[in-house]
Structure 1
Amino acid sequence: MPELSASHRLRIGRYAEQNRIYLLTANTLGREPVFKDYTLGRMVVHQFKQAQSEGFADSLAWVVMPDHFHWLVQLQKGSLGQLMCQAKSLSTRSINSASGRTGSLWQQSFHDHALRQEESLVRVARYVVANPLRAGLVEKLGDYPLWDAIWV
């Protein structure tokens, strides 16, 4: 049997369930800090909002870090793969157009974690939005421009 790459092993057994809450994470290619540029980060945020307005997922909390994002969603329709493919491909297109970049922006796959009943939704949301504090990018959460949560 041929050896599978890490990205292919991630997809084995991936199952998406409607109305389930997932924490999704995607990294930029080579962990390049593309989103140090606030306007480029806003283009990723636009894709989160677009996915919600089209009924694919309800965004509960998110943060766009310089080289990755965390997105806490409640999946409404489609699969996680479809949701992430759309968000990553559309954001790549708009960011490349705006910045003069070409080629891939994101690493091929993504990480997903389905929240279990015993996990605290608020605890996970706090983890997501506190990323800039833990990374030392800001001293107060309100100083970081690329995050949101439905509880604020």
Structure 2
Amino acid sequence: MARTGRVRCETDLYHVTIRGCGRQIIFEDAVDRNFFLDRLELLAEQERVDVIAYCLMDNHVHIVLFDPEGDLGVFMQRLCCVYARYFNERHGRSGHLFQGRYSSAAIEDVRYLLTVVRYVHDNPVKAGVSGRECYQWSSYRGYVEDRGFVSRSLVYELIGGAVRFVEFSSSEDSRRDLARVMHSDGVGVLEVARTALGGRDPLVIGASPGPERDACIRILSECGLNASEISRITGVSRKVISRVAGQN
């Protein structure tokens, strides 16, 4: 079956993730990371793509992009190819470096962009690697110190500058918005549901009173979970979920 093309988002904002094949390491050291960032900056300028945020982890990368020209596929293909070629040559390996094609999630609401940027910068925190302020391989410090090649103007405009950015990054985020980002990034359904429900076990939903059960189902649906996923983790029938959330 032919691969379907990606649908262009009206805001031209995307959260892109690149993962190592089989979760393998894609950055061995600072030399690798600096090469990737140098090429990210260079290719973004050439393809007229704005890098709004990024975070390099050992086996995956998050990038938030503004792509007004609609050439996201060309940009990502060039970036992935040039880095994979470099990495294989430097480390004496062959074969695929990345896990298939990059994944991209459209950011349909510019205010939702803030939640996505925060999620990206929090990756080293959630992995237990480092605090966001100390992590060298994300764009967080570029926002705080107003430096680097990332395009900060849209986020600053939405949030009110660097000081407010730090305050927002340290505040409690909307559980529902955070769960939406997690789901679009491929995080497990059970973890997404627990985040959206404030830590509650989804299995208790089926035994909850009708109005409470229905409210929880709507929350999970709004986070991007489909009827089959909700049914699997809650025990509620798909028929009930379809009626409550309007899903087939």
What TM-score do the two structures reach when normalised by structure 2?
0.52
Give the drift of 1:126: 0.9
Greater relative contact order, per chain length (Cα 8 Å cut-off, separation 6+): 1
Does residue 46 (structure 1) correspond to residue 35 (structure 2)? The answer is no
Q: Secondary structure at the match of 2:31?
A: helix
What TM-score do the two structures reach when normalised by structure 1?
0.81
Q: Secondary structure at the match of 1:141?
A: coil
Within the candidate set 109, 118, 134, 1:143 is matched to 134
Per residue, is there more strand in 1 or in 2?
Answer: 1
Asked which structure has the greater CA Rg, the reply is 2
Does residue 33 (structure 1) correspond to residue 25 (structure 2)? The answer is yes
Give the drift of 1:142: 2.9
* Deviation digits for residues 85-135 of structure 1 (CA, Å, limit 9, x no counterpart): 111001111222222222221112121111112642222111111101101
Unaligned runs of 5+ in 2: 145-248
Per residue, is there more helix in 1 or in 2?
Answer: 2
RMSD after superposition: 2.2
> Identity over aligned residues, as a percent?
26
Residues in 2 aligned to 1:18 and 1:45: alpha-carbon distance in whole angstroms:
27
Amino acid at match of 1:142: E
Residues in 2 aligned to 1:43 and 1:28: alpha-carbon distance in whole angstroms:
16
Does residue 116 (structure 1) correspond to residue 71 (structure 2)? The answer is no
Contact map agreement 1:38 1:146 (CA 8 A) in 2: no
Distance 1:47 1:69, change over 3 A: same
Aligned length: 143
Contact map agreement 2:18 2:62 (CA 8 A) in 1: yes
